[in-house]
Amino acid sequence: MNALPVAKTTRPGNAQTGKNVQRVAAVIPAKDEAERIAATVRSARAIPHVDLVLVVDDGSEDETQHVARAAGAVVVRHSHNRGKAAAMETGAAVVAMRDADGRPPRLLMFIDGDLGDTAVNTAPLVRPVREGVADLAIALLPKQAGAGGRGIVVGAARRAIEAMTGWSPSQPLSGMRCLTREAFEAATPLARGWGVETGMTIDLLRKGYVAVEVPCDLKHRASTNDLKGQIHRAAQYRDVLLAVNARKMRGAVDAVRHAGSNVRS
């Protein structure tokens, strides 16, 4: 990649050697992923620069935590299900505890638990962030076999992001994302549940952080068109709207405050 650095995050220094080497933590939120988590963990361990693979078991009722640990992940667990965004926040907090003083904080690479052997193909997300071309790199997935979506949730998220930031992402819900610690902190508190990606993209772009979409050859368990799939999409739609509305409201409150301070000054 020859693009010039444009990211907002302060870089740890040009010479990425010795203590300045920018390491990466793979954070995997996982709810009932016992079937796929071992392959996902093993594959994530092979991503260049990743030296920590952390699985956040979000209150699974299956063997996810044990399988993940046996595959070589560090595992923490929510005793009850709190949703994907909460699992991401827990994961980032645990990584921060393991970041070493005097070294740049690790980049955070969020990976879904159902990617299996394809998790390693998130590797292209690291480079633009490591090289300061972007603060946030989002995976663009190829068309998934058996996917039953009609683009309703995706379209709503895309239009909201575009209206609020001017950027129209191809895959606004994509959860495979690599970002700097500074950008992650700027995006907290995260929007709840399935609104997390939409909220994060809006918040970061509005604060001047730079996002890119990068094609990655990933395969996940796409949601189907049966009742279970429809219920899942309804929950996604609800969470995306909640995230967007909260941000619209915040924007309106900020505008009123700003107008008030202009009147006073």
Ligand X SMILES: O=c1ccn([C@@H]2O[C@H](COP(=O)(O)OP(=O)(O)O[C@H]3O[C@H](CO)[C@@H](O)[C@H](O)[C@H]3O)[C@@H](O)[C@H]2O)c(=O)[nH]1
Ligand Y SMILES: O=C(O)[C@H](O)COP(=O)(O)O
Instruction: Round to whole Å and give the CA distance between 113 and 37.
Output: 6
Residue 36 vs 220, nearer CB to ligand Y: 220
* Residue 175 contacts ligand X per CB under 6 A: yes
Longest Cα–Cα distance in the chain: 62
Candidates 60-68, 71-79, 106-114, 148-156 — which segment interacts with ligand Y by CB under 6 A?
148-156
HSE-CB at 121 with a 13 A cutoff on CA atoms is: 16
CB 183 within 8 A of CB 204: yes
Which residues between 203 and 222 bind ligand X (CB under 6 A)?
A: 220-221
Member of 41, 233, 239, 247 binding ligand Y (CB under 6 A): 233
Residue 104 vs 175, nearer CB to ligand X: 175
Beta bridge partners of 190: none
Classify the C-alpha dihedral 32-170-190-69 as positive or negative: positive
Phi/psi at 215 (5° precision): -65, 135
Residues in contact with ligand Y, counted by CB under 6 A, come to a total of 11
Member of 26, 55, 87, 134 binding ligand X (CB under 6 A): 87
Cα dihedral angle (79, 81, 86, 92), rounded to 10 degrees?
A: 50
Q: Which residue has the tokens 């935590």?
A: 65
Binding pattern for the stretch 29-58 against ligand X, x by CB under 6 A and - elsewhere: xxx-x------------------------x
Tell me the two tokens of residue 176.
């495979």
Q: How far is the CB of 141 from ligand X (least distance, A)?
A: 8
Residues that bind ligand X (CB under 6 A): 29-31, 33, 58, 81, 83-84, 87, 112-114, 173, 175, 194, 197, 220-221, 223, 232, 236
Residues that bind ligand Y (CB under 6 A): 147, 149-154, 222-223, 233, 236
